[in-house]
A = this chain, B = another copy of it.
Amino acid sequence: MSQQRNERPLKPSADFPDLPDATVARLPEYLRALHELSRTGNDVVSSEGLANAAGVNSAKLRKDLSYLRSNGTRGVGYDVAQLIEKIEHVLGLNQHRAVALVGVGNLGHALAGYAGFGTRGFHIAALFDADPSRVGEEINGLVVRHIDELAEVVAEEGISIAVIATPAFAAQPVADLLISCGVTSILNFAPCVLSVPDNVDVRKVDLAIELQILSFHEHRKSTLTALPGTVVGS
């Protein structure tokens, strides 16, 4: 059931304040902005400055950071290095996480080769496909393995996060298999709903859906500019 957003069935622990989902979703963006600030020689940043770099407003940023028992200095701002450390800790990025990628088609290929993962706390530890003609291919230094080997590899590598980049029809069985092997977080690129137990988290990325949402805004914009006399509702 746990589909995109909205789920927090467990109690917070001392180490993990019960962060609002909206906040969790923004922390990675703050982290990216902080790394950039750090790279460009900023040791300290104000909420206003960081908020701009992350594309949010400063009150929201401060509220978000306050959930982390924040440690800004009034009158000064936040220590960049310290805040990076804190957010990485909260997100659990200190242990470099191994990720399995299933489905080495068009998109899977690109994801396997995406350099951005490595620099941001992840590495693709194994590639799988069901198609024997793809098994054995080497991508970015990794050999594609048959999906039958999944259980073995997941155990060996201590994998708990997987990416599904298969066609839609294969996604549910692949998810079931992953879960049976102990995977508890899935990033799903297949255009379909996955049903999974409550303890498994799923996030979905659907490229066509993103375009359709933009299409709506295009449509609305063109409709409105075409109707000069339109009057406010309500």
Contact = CB atoms under 8 A, between A and B. Distances in A.
A116 B208 contact: yes
A177 interface: no
A166 interface: no
A221 B16 CA distance: 10
Interface in A190-234: 191-193, 195, 199, 201, 203, 205-224, 227, 230-233
A107 B18 CA distance: 35
B233 A211 contact: no
Interface in A60-112: 90-93, 97, 99, 106-107, 109-111
A contact residues, range: 35 or more
Contacts of A54: 193
A117 B207 contact: yes
Given A28-B212, A122-B208, 9 more contacts: A33-B193, A90-B216, A106-B114, A116-B208, A121-B211, A161-B215, A186-B214, A201-B214, A201-B217
